[in-house]
């Protein structure tokens, strides 16, 4: 699995997060960009999740939580109400259960 963060601009730290303001990076076929962590201000870590994982029970539950908290009409990249580290562990576990190797 490739975890990517938005690269920072002039005077901005690359680890600052992802605001969703620019969509310059191409999303690889078969992946969904999601932002975990950061709260209501939109900052957070951008992650690319294989579409095959969306039906995994732990990921599906998190998507339900996102719909309840943010609604279905989120503009831009899908935000999930989860700490970035915890989300990474959920995705890694789902990949292991589905037999998907991380890159």
Q: pLDDT digit string (tens) for 15-74?
A: 334 444 444 578 999 999 999 987 666 578 999 999 999 999 999 999 999 999 988 888
Distances in Å between the Cα of 64 and the Cα atoms of 10, 38, 67, 76, 81 are: 37, 18, 5, 18, 10
- Rounded to the nearest angstrom, the gap between the alpha carbon of residue 11 and the centroid of all alpha carbons in its chain is 24
Q: What is the pLDDT of residue 8?
A: 41
Task: Give the position of tokens 């690359």.
Answer: 14
Confidence of residue 4 (pLDDT cuts 50, 70, 90): very low
- Give me the residue spans of the domains in the chain: 31-38+54-98
State which H helix or E strand residue 46 sits in. Answer: strand 45-50
Alpha helices in 22-83 (DSSP H): 57-70
pTM, 2 dp? 0.69
91 pLDDT exceeds 90?
Answer: yes
Start-to-end CA distance of the chain, whole Å, equals 4
Confidence of residue 92 (pLDDT cuts 50, 70, 90): very high
Q: What is the pLDDT of residue 103?
A: 61
């Amino acid at each position: 699995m490739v975890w990517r963060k938005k690269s920072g601009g002039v005077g901005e730290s690359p680890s600052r997060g992802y605001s969703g303001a620019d969509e310059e990076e191409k999303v690889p076929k078969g992946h969904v960009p999601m932002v975990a962590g950061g709260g209501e201000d939109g900052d957070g870590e951008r992650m690319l999740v294989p579409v095959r994982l969306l039906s995994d029970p732990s990921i599906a539950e998190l998507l339900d939580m996102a719909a309840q908290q943010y609604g279905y009409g989120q503009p831009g990249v899908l935000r999930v109400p989860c700490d970035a580290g915890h989300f990474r562990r959920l995705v890694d576990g789902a990949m292991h259960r589905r037999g998907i190797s991380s890159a």
